[in-house]
């Protein structure tokens, strides 16, 4: 199954991508994680992306389209994939169509702006392996240490309150129109994401069957 997860920053796309990945054994592809990895490695693309990400803006379409075009050619995508954070603009969705990529389902996770602020201020991430935690809702076994690889957990720079507001504005202006784009194709399913992770997961799994 080829899936797209849509939703505001902090709606829980990464969290649900992990659950679907475990259930269906298909890779979860996060453009955000790939860009952060490039930033950590100091590559040319990472340096270019940094100023956009730190300001809560989108990285230019041609950069992320190039990343996805290459990633979808990998052998592990043969039986399906989950796109987490791509597409984020109409031109990115059109580029996916032009690549001849068939999308079976688009899951839109809906969460209010108020909840988003609480989730993002408490999020902690591992820059080494990409694992995500929350100080209240998903705490690591040892405070500040990644359960998976033992590296130090940090707060993402773009999770600071002022930047979160910019990310939400960018989302409403540039990404939300994708709901209509995929609704018109009959493949959009809206999932209520306000409650506990397990509730959202149950709704997400149901939406994959509908
Ligand atoms: P990206 O990393 O994709 O950021 P995002 O979409 O803003 O999404 P997040 O990772 O912030 O949130 P999420 O929805 O995955 O939530 P999560 O599961 O972590 O992109 C970062 C930046 O890269 C962008 O701003 C942009 O600059 C650039 N970029 C990336 N892709 C791009 C593209 N295609 N085009 C252009 N630029 C691009 O959950 C959040 C927190 O809440 C976690 O702590 C989690 O534990 C907790 N949580 C999750 N669900 C629940 C729940 N139900 N109850 C309580 N807590 C919960």
Token pair 């809702």 is found at 137
Asked whether 78 and 1 are in contact (CB, 8 A), the reply is no
C-alpha closest to that of 81 among 60, 102, 51: 102
pLDDT tens digits, residue range 160-177?
A: 988 999 999 999 999 999
For a pLDDT cut of 90, what percent of the chain falls above it? 90
pLDDT at 11: 96
Tokens of 20: 């679907």
Kindly indicate the confidence band of residue 128, based on its pLDDT and cuts at 50, 70 and 90: confident
Asked whether 170 and 54 are in contact (CB, 8 A), the reply is no
Asked whether 69 and 166 are in contact (CB, 8 A), the reply is no
Residue 180, CA atoms < 13 Å, CB-side half-sphere: 7
- Say whether 210 sits in a helix, a strand or coil: coil
Ligand 1 neighbours by CB, cut-off 6 Å: 7, 9-15, 30-32, 35, 52-53, 57-59, 64, 85-86, 88, 92, 119, 123, 132, 134, 137-138, 158, 167, 193, 196-197, 200
Give the C-alpha separation, 102 to 1, whole Å.
Answer: 9
Tokens of 153: 């957990």
Asked whether 112 and 8 are in contact (CB, 8 A), the reply is no
Q: What's the whole-number mean pLDDT along residues 6-24?
A: 96
């Amino acid at each position: 199954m080829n899936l797209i997860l849509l939703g505001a920053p902090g709606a829980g796309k990464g969290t649900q991508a992990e659950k679907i990945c475990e259930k269906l054994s298909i890779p979860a592809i996060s453009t955000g994680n790939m860009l952060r990895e490039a930033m950590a490695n100091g590559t040319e693309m990472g340096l270019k992306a940094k100023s956009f990400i730190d300001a809560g803006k989108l990285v230019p379409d041609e950069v992320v389209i190039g990343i996805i075009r290459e990633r979808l050619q990998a052998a592990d995508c043969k039986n399906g994939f989950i796109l987490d954070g791509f597409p984020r603009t109409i031109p990115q969705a059109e580029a996916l169509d032009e690549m001849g990529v068939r999308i079976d389902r688009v899951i839109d996770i809906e969460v209010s702006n108020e909840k988003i602020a609480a989730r993002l201020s408490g999020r902690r991430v591992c820059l080494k392996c990409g694992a995500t935690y929350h100080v209240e809702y998903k705490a690591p076994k040892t405070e500040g240490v990644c359960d998976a690889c033992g590296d130090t957990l940090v707060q993402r720079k773009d999770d600071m309150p002022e930047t979160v507001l910019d990310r939400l504005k960018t989302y409403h202006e540039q990404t939300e129109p994708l709901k209509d784009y995929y609704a018109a194709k009959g493949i959009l399913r809206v999932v209520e994401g306000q409650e506990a992770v397990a509730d959202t997961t149950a709704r997400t799994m149901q939406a994959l069957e509908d």
